[in-house]
Chains A and B, each alone.
Chain A
Amino acid sequence: MDVTSLYSHLSTDARRYQELQRTESAIKATARWPLLKEVRNTLHGMQEHDRHEA
């Protein structure tokens, strides 16, 4: 059993293992570059705003 299957078998988190791994990598990426962090925060703010509008 690979780590992805193991995770989906044991975890109660509905998100897929790869998705969590990507999110973790994205957080590390933005921690290294302040401008990327600001841009990403703005993008996510826009997405939140769109969700509220919908």
Chain B
Amino acid sequence: MNVIAVIGTSGGAGVTTVAAQLAAGLVAQRRHAIAFDLSPDNALRLHFGMDWEDETGLAPMVASGKPWNEAAFCSASGVDFIPFGKPDDERTIADFAHSLAAQPAWLASRLAELDMPAETYVICDCPRTEGALRSQALAAARLTLIVVTPDALSYAAARTTAEAALAQGARRVAFVLNGFDPARALDQDVATLMRTDFFSSLVPVVLHRDESLREALASKQSVFEYAPSSRATYDFSALAMWVVAHLSHRHEKKAA
């Protein structure tokens, strides 16, 4: 199983969007992908058409002692996803995080129980802040994607975010530049600095700023359904291809 954790250098980096569209991109390439929401924001589900008021998800299931995989859904476009859900109160989230802290391999064990094909891709949308939920995903992941936006603060936080992820058990980190607009001078310059300073860890696919992404979310669809000819669809197809190639290459190297 190929677990991929998606985290950001800062809030608003587009982590949930990248996680959702990467899963949709993998499915568009006939790969089996599951999008897994580990963020109490509970926003990943909205990219897959789930009703705004539906509060079903991982956290309420675990809190009520029900099998958490009963919270799995399938989107119209064929992406399996597990929403975080909305527990009855904040205390439930705190208790959930606390219980996870005592079981560092909880997520890895639960994923193993699903008995999915080895070539399944599990994309984890991680919370903005460090904590037990995020650590679980990082420890289970073969690859951690760090979403960087083309601005000074995101560039400044890139290295410390990667170091923190590695300290929490991430095996391999890679930066992906999101929201890039080639017409903006600062975007070009931050991209240049990322290429210069983090060359070996920078995904060779840039995710461009594209209005189709916001419109797709507002339309309760993935961008692959909403705007199949858009720049964003092209970019996320390329990112999905890179992820598949990167992980299979690393698998072959390990086997050899």
Q: Which residues of A contact B (CB under 8 A)?
A: 22-23, 25-26, 29-30, 32-33, 35-36, 39-40, 42-43, 46
Contact = CB atoms under 8 A, between A and B. Distances in A.
Contacts of A22: 192, 195-196, 199
Interface stretch (B42-50, B72-80, B183-191): B183-191
A42 B156 CA distance: 9
A26 B159 contact: no
A33 B186 contact: yes
A40 B185 contact: no
A44 to B, nearest CB: 8
Interface string B160-202: 0000000000000000000000000110111011011101000
A30 B185 CA distance: 12
B197 A32 contact: no
Given A43-B197, A46-B159, A32 B192 contact: no
B155 interface: yes
A32 B196 CA distance: 16
Contact of B155 (A25, A32, A39): A39
**Nearest 8 interchain pairs by C-beta:** A29-B189, A26-B196, A39-B156, A22-B196, A35-B152, A25-B192, A29-B192, A26-B193
A30 to B, nearest CB: 7
15 contacts: A22-B195, A26-B193, A26-B196, A26-B197, A29-B190, A29-B192, A30-B193, A35-B152, A36-B189, A36-B193, A39-B152, A39-B156, A40-B193, A43-B159, A43-B197
A36 B196 contact: no
A46 B189 CA distance: 21
B159 A36 contact: no
Contacts of A42: 156
A16 to B, nearest CB: 11
